[in-house]
Amino acid sequence: MILAEALITRKEYKTRLEDLRSRLQASAVVQEGDAPHESPEELLEALDGLLAEYGQLIARIHRTNLTAKLADGRTITEAIVDRDLLDERMAILRSLAEAGSRKNDRYAYSELRYLTTLDVGALRKEVDRRAKERRTLDIAIQAANWRNDLVS
């Protein structure tokens, strides 16, 4: 199995886990005299089995990410960290640009006037540049996901 397939499978596991959660909650309490539609004990056994498989898959994905490399030589793990840091930086810069572009409503000349201390346009250009960098990095990560086999 290649890494990309494992990531798709991981998503399927998450969907199945959420389904089990809902089914367990629905069977946890019933009106007196009624029986649950499904056995909570059997659902809990299914949950244990599914979580064991899911855990093994996640461990294999992480091991693969630690060893598989992008074309530029970074491991997938390093690239994911870089992508996450880009996301954080962009979120902070967007927030800063929003704060700096707030309109200053004054109802009288005697009210305080607030001035922007940053170049909002430059901040937004920086966000755009970082977003392009993030898209390029994400494409490289996706390419590596399709190129690398899942390790044991």
pLDDT at 141: 97
Lowest mean pLDDT among 25-29, 43-47, 102-106, 126-130: 102-106
pLDDT tens digits for range 68-125: 999 999 999 999 999 999 999 999 999 999 988 877 666 676 677 777 888 999 999 9
C-alpha–C-alpha distance, residues 79 and 70, integer Å = 8
List the Cα angle 139/140/143 in 5-degree steps: 85
pLDDT tens for 37-67 read 999 999 999 999 999 999 999 999 999 999 9
89 DSSP 8-state letter: H
- Give domain limits for the chain: 1-67, 70-152
Say whether 91 sits in a helix, a strand or coil. helix
Do residues 57 and 9 lie in contact, with contact meaning Cβ atoms separated by under 8 Å? Answer: yes
The gap from C-alpha 106 to its chain's centroid, in whole angstroms, comes to: 41
